[in-house]
Structure 1
């Protein structure tokens, strides 16, 4: 791996900002790279109030760190982008970004113009992404054994989480996993009092307003209100007049009639994004109707999609029973789970939903297992959509060799940027080997020679034995989209860091 060498004389000042930024990036990367690979360890984050988080999730570490250096803060954006777009591979993306900066600075300080390095890096990343796509293997259905291995690897080798994620994937179906906008990771819920299970439905994060009502309903119709479950309001000024008071009583009478209509239609669950009138709450309690108030927008959307309900305003309650009935959804099961303090809804007549409930002994452990399960779910979805590649840095090593051969045929100084990408692609394997306790220089060269001799990207370094192994046969695989997006996001931030020539503090508001 190419290091950053000091530049004597006048060049020290010329490159001072670049080298300073590179040092800050290096410090950020050192905080997460020790967690990479099967032998990677956890990081303990300690807050000012004594709160503690123990994790090896890259984006969690970076977001919780106290970072002030502006270039270092750009690295956090890499992890956020990877988390937002893919949901897994945040540590890999960060390590790649740091390696690209390091390799790029090495080229710049040896005299290659920044513009040429950045242009070459962009070319190299495009070539690398194309090579990764060509090498990608497609998932052969949800029963493909590689899918479990992907969940197992992304789930940090926790077999129970991998099994839950695969079971949930089978329940929701391949079509749903491929659906644009659907995030499988959002189905994960961790709770310190829960038993791990896959619930083929949704869990709403509110207690019923009428807890003393019946806690379970079968074959219930569902009303989703984007409003309050209460009569239309009358201004306080109007109430002091006889006409205003009469109007108020008329509206309350209409509201009571609407409640009777809901009973007639067989409504068993009402979810409102605002408050609930006490009279309505009592009416629903008397007739065994579950009422949820101030439900989050996300939960209302899921409830609507799962049950087939059409969200309405309270003015819709004045419609005739058949018209109002058209807006109602239906669920075969709706019940309040006292242990989880959530309402379970299943067997909806709308879209299929699934919830992965991950149990843990403590709140801290529940949060960490939730992060692990979300990574596993994201990896499985990414593999279903874009296929998979040999993991453990093996595919990146093969692509690095492809870039080196392309570099030999290139003219112009952009070739130095391509060489920088090739060097950075070896960093994940190098770091995984370091974390496993082996010499990275020895193992990187050993694997490079083996891959060239066999013409295969399947070969990697077994972290238990240090020997060359067939990673596809061993089930060490990663989603293709995770690798490609990590490289592209890393490239964007690395280019931004390399282009910075001067750092200037902005004036604060109020300064003249």
Structure 2
């Protein structure tokens, strides 16, 4: 089988598209693989207007790159999927996808049919996913010391950010972090004028609509509108008639009367998804009621969950005060922070929330620290959900050896695809070793021999000394979910690229 060769010029032409796509993907991978591992370096992105972004984050690099090649865009989808589903590991997913494509192309250009390689890659990825899932170690609750190590590794060894994320996670608790639709990274925000802080409540990045802003910290009943906080209106056509104009005047007078219910119910905080009527804003200001307008629906939902409020429409103000009281939430602390230009809510009667503030000195550094902190938050949440695995490419190396043994039991040419997956799984460790300044061929073989001799899948390379070390004992750990999704997404896009035989430009869309 090792003697398989493509047939002359005809074979070269058949592989032209495949090689072109592979070269484009290789170019994309080269832009991010230098950031992998503890010795990875940053990338500077420069915009057309001179704007600068300095980052180590794979998805940020790929999102901001000027990419036109269609196959390269497929690779960027891997990073986007990884970011959306897990929130970390975008560089690992990209490197794995690039390695799978490169190894698959190498097999195809040797003469192995594409269909056989693709089927073998699918088999190999499926087997590898099962092996990784089987090796995952569960965390022992919020007190497990590995939780900090996960935040520290994902946070690129920023100890202050790791402590911040772990403190926030402990305040939220494991039940909240394991909720399917809750994203821990969403509670992390940054500010150039702030110090690092974990606020036990909500920080709403919005300036009150009130003319005055000096609201003293106080308890407040909370009323939320899922539309505009203004009088009901008649349509423009009816407004042109006397009856319509009279009706609009009546509605405004009724609205003024309904505002008195806010005082009766001791409402101290009002938030609206849309605009706030100037008269309503003045009434609230006169009675010490803070008003926020034009809040995103997701933000309004967070406030509702935290305070226990039930959003109403403006017509809901017509309800009797006793009935309207059932829609109110409560917060024991409501205040506007001028330094952060945000409203602070605390001691809500609803579900537990925290807000994590990441500070820095400049806008460029603030943006990068925010990305790092969100990666750490995503990794902590993923580890609590699915456990952890040895980092530094050690787990992938162990699975690669298992795939080598599986390859020996497979009859047929699908075995070449399985071999491609096994070789691609060694790429993360090889790249980490390269970034640390060592010979990847030597170190990868050294780890392979050590893992086989000791039956220990946690052995990897210490990037400071270059010697073989136990990654679990050294605290170099990664969330299992990050590795599992990265491999799955990489396998899917690699198979899609390998199957592309022809690229045809579509005609432009024309309006009928």
What is the TM-score normalised by the length of structure 2?
0.97
Q: Distance in 1 between matches of 2:223 and 2:205?
A: 17
Q: Distance in 1 between matches of 2:210 and 2:252?
A: 20
Q: Distance in 2 between matches of 1:153 and 1:30?
A: 22
Structure 1, unaligned runs of 5 or more: none
Structure 2 equivalent of residue 229 of structure 1: 229
Contact 1:213 1:288 in 2 (8 A): no
Q: Following TM superposition, by how much is the alpha carbon of 1:8 offset from its aligned partner in structure 2, in angstroms?
A: 4.7
The reply to whether residue 139 of structure 1 matches residue 147 of structure 2 is no
Q: Following TM superposition, by how much is the alpha carbon of 1:460 offset from its aligned partner in structure 2, in angstroms?
A: 0.6
Structure 1 equivalent of residue 294 of structure 2: 294
Q: How does 1:29-40 map to 2 (within 5 A)?
A: 29-40=29-40
Structure 2 equivalent of residue 392 of structure 1: 392
Q: Following TM superposition, by how much is the alpha carbon of 1:252 offset from its aligned partner in structure 2, in angstroms?
A: 2.0
Q: Distance in 2 between matches of 1:364 and 1:35?
A: 18
> SS at the partner of 1:317?
helix
Q: Distance in 2 between matches of 1:267 and 1:277?
A: 17
Q: How many pairs does the alignment contain?
A: 509
Q: Distance in 1 between matches of 2:338 and 2:180?
A: 34
> SS at the partner of 1:10?
helix
Structure 1 equivalent of residue 86 of structure 2: 86
Structure 1 equivalent of residue 480 of structure 2: 480
Structure 1 equivalent of residue 372 of structure 2: 372
CA-to-partner distance for each residue in 1:409-430, whole Å, 9 max, x for gaps? 1111111111100000000000
Structure 1 equivalent of residue 62 of structure 2: 62
Contact 1:42 1:55 in 2 (8 A): yes
CA-to-partner distance for each residue in 1:388-416, whole Å, 9 max, x for gaps? 01000000000000000111111111111
More divergent stretch after superposition (230-239 vs 310-319): 230-239
More divergent stretch after superposition (240-249 vs 131-140): 240-249
Structure 2 equivalent of residue 72 of structure 1: 72
Q: How does 1:228-377 map to 2 (within 5 A)?
A: 228-235=228-235, 238=238, 242-377=242-377
Contact 1:214 1:289 in 2 (8 A): no
Q: Following TM superposition, by how much is the alpha carbon of 1:239 offset from its aligned partner in structure 2, in angstroms?
A: 5.1
> SS at the partner of 2:401?
helix
> SS at the partner of 1:203?
strand
More divergent stretch after superposition (270-279 vs 371-380): 270-279
Q: Distance in 1 between matches of 2:439 and 2:8?
A: 31
The structure-2 alpha-carbon separation of the partners of 1:129 and 1:279, relative to structure 1 and needing over 3 Å to count, comes to same
Contact 2:213 2:336 in 1 (8 A): no
Structure 1 equivalent of residue 25 of structure 2: 25
Q: Following TM superposition, by how much is the alpha carbon of 1:246 offset from its aligned partner in structure 2, in angstroms?
A: 3.7
Q: Following TM superposition, by how much is the alpha carbon of 1:236 offset from its aligned partner in structure 2, in angstroms?
A: 5.2
Q: Distance in 1 between matches of 2:331 and 2:408?
A: 64
Q: Distance in 1 between matches of 2:222 and 2:56?
A: 41
The structure-2 alpha-carbon separation of the partners of 1:412 and 1:6, relative to structure 1 and needing over 3 Å to count, comes to closer
Q: Following TM superposition, by how much is the alpha carbon of 1:10 offset from its aligned partner in structure 2, in angstroms?
A: 2.4
The reply to whether residue 109 of structure 1 matches residue 96 of structure 2 is no
Structure 2 equivalent of residue 423 of structure 1: 423
Structure 1 equivalent of residue 459 of structure 2: 459
Q: Following TM superposition, by how much is the alpha carbon of 1:279 offset from its aligned partner in structure 2, in angstroms?
A: 1.3
Q: Following TM superposition, by how much is the alpha carbon of 1:139 offset from its aligned partner in structure 2, in angstroms?
A: 0.5
> SS at the partner of 1:219?
strand
> SS at the partner of 1:224?
strand
Structure 2 equivalent of residue 42 of structure 1: 42
> SS at the partner of 2:473?
helix
Q: Following TM superposition, by how much is the alpha carbon of 1:470 offset from its aligned partner in structure 2, in angstroms?
A: 1.0
Q: Distance in 2 between matches of 1:89 and 1:48?
A: 28
Q: Distance in 2 between matches of 1:107 and 1:60?
A: 32
Q: Distance in 2 between matches of 1:213 and 1:105?
A: 63
Q: How does 1:167-246 map to 2 (within 5 A)?
A: 167-235=167-235, 238=238, 242-246=242-246
Q: Following TM superposition, by how much is the alpha carbon of 1:344 offset from its aligned partner in structure 2, in angstroms?
A: 1.1
Structure 2, unaligned runs of 5 or more: none
> SS at the partner of 2:472?
helix
Q: Distance in 2 between matches of 1:237 and 1:68?
A: 50
Q: Distance in 2 between matches of 1:174 and 1:345?
A: 22
What is the TM-score normalised by the length of structure 1?
0.97
> SS at the partner of 2:465?
coil
Structure 2 equivalent of residue 493 of structure 1: 493
Q: Distance in 1 between matches of 2:511 and 2:340?
A: 52
Q: Following TM superposition, by how much is the alpha carbon of 1:219 offset from its aligned partner in structure 2, in angstroms?
A: 2.2
Structure 1 equivalent of residue 9 of structure 2: 9
The structure-2 alpha-carbon separation of the partners of 1:239 and 1:509, relative to structure 1 and needing over 3 Å to count, comes to closer
Structure 1 equivalent of residue 120 of structure 2: 120
The structure-2 alpha-carbon separation of the partners of 1:504 and 1:239, relative to structure 1 and needing over 3 Å to count, comes to closer
Q: Following TM superposition, by how much is the alpha carbon of 1:24 offset from its aligned partner in structure 2, in angstroms?
A: 0.6
